[in-house]
A and B are shown apart, each in its own frame.
Chain A
Amino acid sequence: MPAVSKGDGMRGLAVFISDIRNCKSKEAEIKRINKELANIRSKFKGDKALDGYSKKKYVCKLLFIFLLGHDIDFGHMEAVNLLSSNRYTEKQIGYLFISVLVNSNSELIRLINNAIKNDLASRNPTFMGLALHCIANVGSREMAEAFAGEIPKILVAGDTMDSVKQSAALCLLRLYRTSPDLVPMGDWTSRVVHLLNDQHLGVVTAATSLITTLAQKNPEEFKTSVSLAVSRLSRIVTSASTDLQDYTYYFVPAPWLSVKLLRLLQCYPPPEDPAVRGRLTECLETILNKAQEPPKSKKVQHSNAKNAVLFEAISLIIHHDSEPNLLVRACNQLGQFLQHRETNLRYLALESMCTLASSEFSHEAVKTHIETVINALKTERDVSVRQRAVDLLYAMCDRSNAQQIVAEMLNYLETADYSIREEIVLKVAILAEKYAVDYTWYVDTILNLIRIAGDYVSEEVWYRVIQIVINRDDVQGYAAKTVFEALQAPACHENLVKVGGYILGEFGNLIAGDPRSSPLIQFNLLHSKFHLCSVPTRALLLSTYIKFVNLFPEIKTTIQDVLRSDSQLKNADVELQQRAVEYLRLSTIASTDILATVLEEMPPFPERESSILAKLKKKKGPGTVTDLEEIKKERSSDMNGSAEPASVNASAVSTPSPSADLLGLGAAPLTNSAPPPSSSGSLLVDVFSDSASAVAPLAPGSDDNFASPDLASSEVVSEEPADTVHDADELFHKFVCKNNGVLFENQLLQIGLKSEFRQNLGRMFIFYGNKTSTQFLNFTPTVICSDDLQPSLNLQTKPVDPTVDGGAQVQQVVNIECVSDFMEAPILNIQFRYGGTFQNLSVKLPITLNKFFQPTEMSSQDFFQRWKQLSNPKQEVQNIFKAKHPMDAEITKAKIIGFGSALLEEVDPNPANFVGAGIIHTKTTQIGCLLRLEPNLQAQMYRLTLRTSKEAVSQRLCELLSEQF
């Protein structure tokens, strides 16, 4: 037992802890704990009133038991009693118990809040401190409701002690984080900003944290903090190391405050006032200069504190990205750290340089360190550091150094940790394609990738090499020769067999002139691998064989013999069997001309951005199974759907053809007479309850239309065409997460929608229903894209019959192609004559960016890795908002799925949160998207975070999804 030293020692507690430590087994420990729990229970229930010391001791024992990992279901009331004790040590234990074991028992919360209230009013700084700590520790909604109004007053009151001010600032910060809506902004905010001038550095430190968080959400309100922060920072960095006394840490003046001030400045762009800006630049230069001075101490604490400030200054320099001088100096400084003997500094330098590499001012300076980084890749013993080196090489790569970097990454791949291999494969594949001048180099690189790390080469990677070879005549012969040589290896990776099979099937003829790679040799080489391969690869090889029948008529009979063998024709796998049967039949009955047409070389793939990039963004992505199933679906619909020879071409390949009709709408049971999904009667009610503004065209000048619940009065039909767009936002937003339903309805007309989307394409059926018994004449619906929208969204509509009979419905088809990401929605304008009056109305057509989502499944690890990669502030958009609907987890899930992303279960450590992932497909690019929705049931709030590689996309998706809850 340790010597008891200070204060009011609890002997019984020490004995109990000793006993627990002496227990030889888990069972013995549980037995001892149960004995103690029984003892405490009987004391609490006993007739004899316990004195404060005993209460404190037993509550503390309960706390100890809880921290050992056992559940505690009593003692709360005794802890609450301790709160009103006048003895500090008893009060302190009471507050500790409450902080660790708070439960939402409302009766108890009321008592706790009461005790806190008394302590806050006590004017005793120690008691006030305890109460503020407790509020900050618990941070619940109830506490925010009770104290969010009071704490700002304590914070800015002139007579509050400094230590209490500090606690109050951080306590308020905690409440603002959990319940921002309950913290009222007001006069106090300007006074808080002026705490940056406070004499007491502890107060300034705490206030800076508070201001930084508040300024992130209310930048305008706290703008004046910038100049105050700069002057404070300036005073610190120019002070002598002893000026700040207790706030000097190992000869570094106020490192915590310096870092916090530099953080605060990162909430804002560079200061506009030239004087402030100049002063800040001086500060940053001083910090950079100090890094060059000899250390004032050999202790690691000195160098850590000094460099913590330096790295934060560099973050600010990168954030501003406006002073080329500073950026280059920062880069040189980091360059020195790259060779530092401290592993931590090397790690941080690599990490920080990654962001510098993306600035145009410092990209070249970063590149000069290439040899050091490559060396780090080879020699670092810590995998975290090597990972940073890979990231940095990728970030600094451009045309000038691509060959070297790719070669080094390939080199490293041979020995790389399994955990980061796939990421390196993707990075190599992307760099090789992006910077390929010579496509033979590209082909060599990818084949090397497969040779070195075949297991980590995903489908996107080998699909991509095939797309590129097919699209580039100049590399086809080389590719055929190279794969043929690679296939000679006795044990080659199955991915190589796939690429080899595909390329020889298309271009084997280009090397068939060489007797060493004659048709028969090519065929035998491929077929020698056949039986070792999985079903999908064998299916691909069968397609290669039928292609050989066309390319090399001289080996037709050999191939027919193979197809005819029992192992093919009677294969247990239905896909293989079907291919063998059909290909054998095709080779037997089709004429040479037909064969040549059916088995023609694949047409070039449309140029589009690499799907590998999307892959890197999403990392790993959908499991192979899902992929194969999708391919199969496509294939079988092709095979069953038509006997046309051309379909063999599409089905012969395992790559999803990007040009095929992906919608498969041909099969959709949509006809002209398809009725809208629900009866109009109930929908009318729906429309009423959701949005009065959706009801009727607006009469010009009648502003109060929106407020009018009276359908008849707002139904006044105007002679003049009104230009107003029916915002009908509620209805519009309903379509964000679903594709079918009623878009608009008034007493004359109902508009229903049915739509389908796949990748970057979509098709929308608009149904116009005449609800009256009178004909509509000159019925003209037009879909209008604004000038901004036009380049991004390609819409094609067919005109509809200008006459719509009473009670009849007409349909209009809109073909949709998403060219690039877009913000606005197109407008559907409808004009017609009804009973002699001209009608003109417009509604937003719900074609929104999220419609072009493809869901992506991924593991928790992948999700968070990817999440982190998108940590650039511009990639993240966040919204905190109040729930507009009941917070039901199942409905939320359905909405996220309806939104288009995959709903990822068991990814977020907090099971109450929802996370999703997907890829937005546009014609020009694919954008990986991650989302995270954090409900706060207590507060009835949500926090939604979107991270994508494109700011505008994050922004738009966040807007759209925020409206859904």
Chain B
Amino acid sequence: GRRFLISEIHFILLFSRQGKLRLQKWYTTLPDKEKKKIVREIVQIILARHQKTSSFVDWKDLKLVYKRYASLYFCCAIEDQDNELLTLEVVHRYVELLDRYFGNVCELDIIFNFEKAYFILDEFIIGGEVQDTSKRSAVKAIEDSDMLQETVEEYMNKPAF
């Protein structure tokens, strides 16, 4: 009866040190209200943790696995029996993918290109399960769509509203 029908990852949250949510991806179906409540609670828990503590926190019947990269916290909720260390590396691999796409990714990249951050995550994880761990395959699909590189002039000629 172990772990049956439950995603590897239940949800992923990205939030800043000020507690601003930057990305949320849910692999379980919940009402919006419930999601907001959970986000508030978890951001609070994680921000209150001291440095040098473990990266794992028990939360309800799940386990939170989190890591800070510069100004951003990445937090995954997984099943209690799931592999915590590997989840840390899921986060790291995602950061690497973002980095490879944006080049020295920073919080602002994710704010202004949130849709790309979602696309990259979708290429990496489907339904809470890691799809492909090869860096090459995951970024390739996104880059395919970006073949067309526009010039600054072209961009500036677009309407600003």
Contacts and interface: CB of A to CB of B under 8 A. Distances in A.
Interface string A887-914: 0000000000000000000000111000
A147 B29 CA distance: 19
A880 B6 CA distance: 13
A126 B144 contact: yes
Interface string A362-394: 000000000000000000011011010000000
B99 interface: no
A67 B111 CA distance: 11
Contacts of A256: 86, 130, 133
Interface string A1-32: 11011111111101111000100000000000
A92 B55 CA distance: 34
Given A305-B89, A868-B80, A12 B159 contact: yes
A160 interface: no
Interface string A849-884: 000000000001000110110010100111010000
A186 to B, nearest CB: 20
Contact of B131 (A126, A206, A308, A346): A206
A636 interface: no
Given A205-B133, A343-B53, A385-B54, A4 B83 contact: no
B7 A163 contact: no
Given A67-B24, A266-B2, A166 B85 contact: no
| Residue with the highest number of chain A CB atoms closer than 10 Å, among B92, B101, B115 | B115
Interface string B98-138: 00011100001101111100110010001111111111110
A384 B132 contact: no
Interface stretch (A131-139, A601-609, A686-694): A131-139
A270 interface: no
A311 interface: yes
Contact of B83 (A15, A217, A259): A259
A174 interface: yes
Interface string B67-89: 00000000000001101111011
B111 A21 contact: yes
Contact of A17 (B29, B60, B111, B156): B111
B131 A167 contact: yes
A96 interface: yes
Interface string A103-115: 0000000000000
Interface residues of A, number: 96
| Residue with the highest number of chain B CB atoms closer than 10 Å, among A92, A311, A347 | A92
Interface in A36-78: 39, 60, 63-64, 67, 69
Contacts of B114: 64, 67
A301 interface: yes
A201 B130 CA distance: 12
A339 interface: no
B38 interface: yes
Interface residues of B, number: 77
A951 to B, nearest CB: 10
A555 B160 CA distance: 96
Nearest to A867: B61
Contacts of A171: 126-127
Nearest to A382: B53
Nearest to A383: B53
Given A384-B57, A909-B38, A943-B5, A7 B146 contact: yes
Contacts of B54: 343-344, 346-347, 382, 384-385
B132 A12 contact: no
A775 interface: no
Contact of A384 (B58, B102, B141): B58
A174 B137 contact: no
A129 B80 CA distance: 31
B76 to A, nearest CB: 14
B85 A2 contact: no
Contacts of A63: 115
B115 A304 contact: no
B55 A205 contact: no
Contacts of B147: 7
A348 B129 contact: no
B85 to A, nearest CB: 4
A209 interface: yes
A344 B6 contact: no
Contacts of A206: 129, 131-132
17 contacts: A11-B155, A89-B145, A129-B141, A173-B127, A177-B5, A178-B29, A209-B8, A213-B4, A259-B83, A307-B85, A308-B83, A343-B52, A346-B54, A384-B53, A877-B1, A909-B30, A911-B31
Chain A to chain B: the 7 pairs with minimum beta-carbon distance, closest first = A174-B127, A7-B146, A308-B85, A308-B86, A202-B132, A170-B126, A382-B53
Given A216-B2, A911-B31, 19 more contacts: A6-B146, A8-B146, A11-B160, A67-B24, A93-B115, A133-B122, A167-B126, A173-B127, A246-B135, A246-B136, A246-B137, A247-B133, A381-B50, A382-B50, A382-B54, A868-B58, A868-B61, A871-B80, A878-B1
Interface of B: 1-8, 21, 24, 29-31, 34, 36-38, 50, 52-58, 60-61, 80-81, 83-86, 88-89, 92-93, 101-103, 108-109, 111-115, 118-119, 122, 126-137, 141, 144-150, 152, 155-156, 158-161
Interface of A: 1-2, 4-12, 14-17, 21, 39, 60, 63-64, 67, 69, 88-89, 92-93, 96, 126, 129, 132-133, 136-137, 139, 163, 166-167, 170-171, 173-174, 176-178, 180, 201-202, 205-206, 209, 213, 216-217, 246-247, 249, 254-257, 259, 266, 301, 304-305, 307-308, 311-312, 315, 343-344, 346-348, 381-382, 384-385, 387, 860, 864-865, 867-868, 871, 873, 876-878, 880, 909-911, 943, 945
